[in-house]
Amino acid sequence: MNAGDTTWIMVCAVLVFIMTPGVALFYGGLARRKNVLSILMQCFVIMCLITLQWVLVGYSLAFGPDTGYGIIGGLGWAGLRGVGMEAHEYAETIPHFVFMIFQLQFAIITAAIMVGAFAERMKFSAFLVFILLWSTFVYDPIAHWVWGDGGWLGEMGALDFAGGIVVHVSSGVSALLVAIMIGRRVGLDMTAFAPHSLPFTVLGGALLWFGWFGFNAGSALAADGIAANAFVTTMISTAAAGITWMFIEWKHHGVPTVLGIVTGAIAGLVAVTPACGLVTPMASIPVGAIASTLCYFAINMLKPRLGYDDSLDVFGLHGMAGIWGTIAVGLFAVEALAGTNGLFYGGAKLLLIQLVYMSVCIAYALAATWIIFKIVDTVIGIRVSKEDEIVGLDLTQHREGAYTTLE
């Protein structure tokens, strides 16, 4: 084992951990003030709930020895049996414990990303059951397919450096489906719902950018040149995306906004996630710029036209940017980093593999999410009453208020 690698991945695990409070503040600022605590509560409880799920069964399902056909890990590592201070082949220079806890942070943030799409209208009791089932039956299998030892998509050659599909697209498309199934918020057809605290959102976005260096560079699982490349491409793609969004918005609406540039930056972070350790720094510029353009279109044109209520634009950001980032791997990957070339460097096969990977995971996530939603809605009832929604989830679900007055 290597002390430098171990220290680096432990620091990266902490960086990824802080991303979930970042998501809470990012979403909390975008929500109405009567629902901000419900957003913070959902994100915070995920940190507790998914930690226990991961230790008991989740890690074993995602990364445990394959049970056959590359579909799922077994329960041999349930309760962390066989997971200890010795290194494992997943990362041969760090303790197995460190790899496990680093991957835990990905499971946590993936669940937290979903909160924004159905914000302000889901029962807290239903939310707990839904998130637990989704993490177990959607996130864990997809993680195994791509990253687990013997996972069928990984064996096929699919590349996802830090979780474009595993984290962002799986959560983005699933959250969109839930938002459609649960229905539009009360009153949305009569008035626009404005963010209640943009400073919260900017602070959350800054924490996300900060933590994302651990998310991406840590996925090299060593303090080496690949980690350095991921670190650099993360910075460049995010900057390109933020600037691109600002200028598009400036042209489209006449003024640049702080919400716009922060949103664009998040699009760049998401898009570069699957590609950060596989593409060159210069390639990360179009990765970020194109992501911002696509996400702007999805949020400002596609969503109003189709009429779905993805409250805080989870699909518009994470789904769209994650899809583009996965495709970008097939276009911009270079052999020196990825072991194979993308289309723009003479290799067409990788792009085809990435398209198959993306399509299969989207189809599975949608089907499994639909089943989970139906089960939870039948047994518990997934949406709060109209009266509770009008009052706000802070008071009706938690009997707390973030502020002394409500608007």
**pLDDT tens string 197-242:** 999 999 999 999 999 999 999 999 999 999 999 999 999 999 999 9
Relative orientation angle of helices 96-114 and 36-53, to the nearest 10 degrees = 150
Find the mean pLDDT for residues 296-311.
96
Domain ranges of the chain: 3-398
Query: Per-residue pLDDT averaged across 83-107, rounded?
Result: 97
pLDDT score, position 404: 73
Q: Which pLDDT band holds residue 191 (cuts at 50, 70, 90)? A: confident
User: What kind and span of H or E run contains 95?
Assistant: strand 91-95
**Which residues face 91 on adjacent strands?**
88
Mean pLDDT of the chain: 97
Per-residue pLDDT band at 405 (split at 50, 70, 90): low
Model-level pTM? 0.97
Of 123 and 192, more confident: 123
pLDDT at 240: 98
227's torsion region: left (phi>0), alpha (psi -120 to 50) or beta?
Answer: alpha
> For residue 261, what is the DSSP state?
H
Q: Is residue 335 within 8 Å of residue 345, measured between CB atoms?
A: yes
* Secondary structure of residue 94 in the 3-state scheme: strand
Q: ∠74-72-174 over CA atoms, to 5°?
A: 130
| pLDDT in the model for residue 176 | 98
Instruction: Record the tokens describing residue 174, joined without a space.
Output: 């699933």
Q: What does the radius of gyration of the chain's CA atoms come to, in whole angstroms?
A: 20
What percentage of the chain exceeds 90 in pLDDT? 97
CATH number of 3-398: 1.10.3430.10
Averaged pLDDT, 344-357: 97
Instruction: Of 162, 372, 383, 111, give the one whose Cα is nearest residue 269.
Output: 162
Q: Are 295 and 321 in contact (CB under 8 A)?
A: yes
Mean pLDDT score, 291-319:
96
Q: Distance between CA atoms of 33 and 44, rounded to whole angstroms?
A: 18
pLDDT tens-digit profile of 167-179? 999 999 999 999 9
Residue 354 token pair? 């990435």
Residue 76: predicted pLDDT = 96
Q: Which residues contact 378 (CB under 8 A, 6 or more apart)?
A: none
